[in-house]
């Protein structure tokens, strides 16, 4: 073979080797890009999965009524410091059913109406007090049994609705409607109570009555307080009405047991006289009739039935006590 032929073969071989190297380099670059795209896809998928987990968190619930199980639930929740700062650990010794429902509560908190302290108290979900308002409740002691008994129901209830009560009027048992507005204040928080739709937390035109046993069943607070409270409560939020000392005495006499719970951490249950009905020879009772709250036709609210008052209880300014 001539020298020219040898040089030609060597040149062709070198060219082929160069093409092969270029092909390998391009393939390597393509593989690198594919890996990067795939890794980016995984990162995006991870972000999406994280978002789904954040949207649908796992919610723990407690199903036991045993005190030790309720306490263990709080201690293992990762929120023990918050629970320990509140009243729920103390409540376990008084009503496990209350504590179980409050631990499973999906609202931001709960309300306690304390007849001993004469306070409406807003707690966060851990049982730590956030707001407190002076209140007036029913003039008679013990839990409510029937219409006209002038008692405030006791127990665990919930918020059923919030209404603008600015223009609500009072109608007595004879069908006479008062022309004075504002007797229920600007707002009415209706409570879901078995057997009645008449009871709620509302404002008043009698702010001087706050702190007294003055109403015929409802819980009243000052108008500025009810306006603040309605911004903090939620439909379905638990409401516990707690009996005071004389309420406990009356409930015992009536053969009814309503749990007492502490609304201040470390508070002890009040001691009370235990007298049964059989031990009472004579007891005068006064039955007060019921009245109707009338709302103007323009308002899309359901009027409530409320306990009436006697003429002797009326204030000179014609403000009716509820």
Give the C-alpha separation, 191 to 240, whole Å. Answer: 10
Tokens of 55: 């949207």
Question: In Å, how far are 17, 30, 140 from 23, measured between CA atoms?
Answer: 10, 11, 97
For position 36, what pLDDT does the model report? 44
For position 9, what pLDDT does the model report? 57
User: Is there a domain that residue 84 lies in?
Assistant: no
3-state secondary structure of 15: helix
Residue 177: which CATH number? 2.40.440.10
More confident: 283 or 139: 139
Residue 276: pLDDT over 60:
yes
User: Is there a domain that residue 168 lies in?
Assistant: yes
Tally the domains of the chain.
1
Beta-strand relationship, 290-294 and 169-171: antiparallel
User: Is there a domain that residue 74 lies in?
Assistant: no
Question: Which of 182, 202, 190, 176 has the alpha carbon at shortest distance from 301?
Answer: 190
Question: pLDDT tens digit string along 31-65?
Answer: 554 444 434 443 443 333 333 333 333 457 889 98
Residue percentage of the chain with pLDDT more than 70: 66
- Tell me the CB-side half-sphere exposure of residue 155, using CA atoms within 13 A: 16
User: Is there a domain that residue 2 lies in?
Assistant: no
3-state secondary structure of 149: coil
User: Is there a domain that residue 42 lies in?
Assistant: no
What range does the domain containing 199 cover? 111-313
Question: pLDDT tens digit string along 1-23?
Answer: 555 554 555 555 555 566 566 66
Give the C-alpha separation, 307 to 216, whole Å. Answer: 5
Q: Which residues pair with 112 in a beta bridge?
A: 121, 240
User: Is there a domain that residue 98 lies in?
Assistant: no
Running DSSP on this structure, what letter comes out for residue 289? P
Full-model pTM? 0.70
Give the C-alpha separation, 109 to 102, whole Å. Answer: 8
Q: Which residue is it, tokens 């709620």?
A: 200
Positions of E strands within 141-248: 155-164, 169-171, 187-192, 200-202, 213-215, 219-220, 238-242
Q: What are the counts of helices (DSSP H) followed by strands (DSSP E) for the chain? A: 7, 13
User: Is there a domain that residue 80 lies in?
Assistant: no
More confident: 31 or 227: 227
Q: Residue 234 in contact with residue 226, Cβ under 8 Å? A: no
Rounded (10°) CA dihedral 21, 25, 31, 33:
-170
3-state secondary structure of 92: coil
Question: In Å, how far are 31, 39, 42, 88, 255 from 35, measured between CA atoms?
Answer: 6, 6, 10, 55, 77
User: Is there a domain that residue 36 lies in?
Assistant: no
For position 321, what pLDDT does the model report? 42
More confident: 68 or 311: 68
For position 28, what pLDDT does the model report? 57
């Amino acid at each position: 073979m001539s020298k020219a032929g040898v040089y030609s073969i060597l040149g062709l071989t070198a060219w082929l080797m160069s093409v092969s190297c270029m092909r390998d380099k391009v393939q390597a670059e393509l593989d690198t890009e594919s890996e990067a795209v795939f890794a980016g896809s995984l990162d995006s998928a991870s972000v999406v999965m994280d978002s789904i987990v954040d949207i649908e968190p796992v919610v723990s619930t407690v199903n036991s009524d045993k005190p030790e199980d309720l306490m263990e639930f709080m201690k293992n929740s990762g929120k023990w410091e918050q629970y320990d700062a509140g009243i729920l650990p103390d409540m376990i010794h008084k009503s496990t059913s209350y504590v179980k429902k409050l631990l499973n509560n999906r609202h931001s908190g709960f309300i306690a109406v304390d007849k001993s302290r004469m306070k409406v108290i807003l707690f966060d979900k851990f049982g730590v007090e956030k707001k407190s308002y002076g209140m007036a409740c029913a003039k008679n002691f013990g839990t409510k049994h029937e219409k006209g008994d002038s008692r405030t129901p006791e127990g665990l209830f919930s918020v059923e609705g919030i209404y603008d009560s600015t223009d609500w009027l009072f109608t007595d048992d004879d069908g006479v409607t008062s022309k004075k507005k504002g007797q229920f204040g600007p707002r009415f928080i209706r409570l879901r109570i078995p057997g009645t739709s008449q009871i709620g937390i509302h404002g008043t035109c009698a702010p001087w009555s706050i702190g007294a046993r003055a109403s015929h069943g409802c819980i009243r607070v000052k108008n500025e307080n009810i306006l603040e409270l309605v911004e903090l409560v939620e439909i379905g939020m638990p409401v516990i009405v707690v009996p005071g000392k004389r309420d406990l005495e009356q409930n015992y006499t009536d053969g009814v047991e309503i749990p007492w719970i502490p609304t201040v951490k470390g508070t002890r249950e009040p001691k009370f006289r235990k007298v049964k009905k059989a031990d009472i020879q004579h007891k005068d009772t006064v039955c007060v009739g019921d009245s109707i709250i009338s709302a103007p036709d323009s308002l899309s609210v359901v009027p409530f039935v409320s306990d009436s008052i006697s003429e002797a209880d009326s204030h000179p300014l014609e403000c009716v006590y509820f």
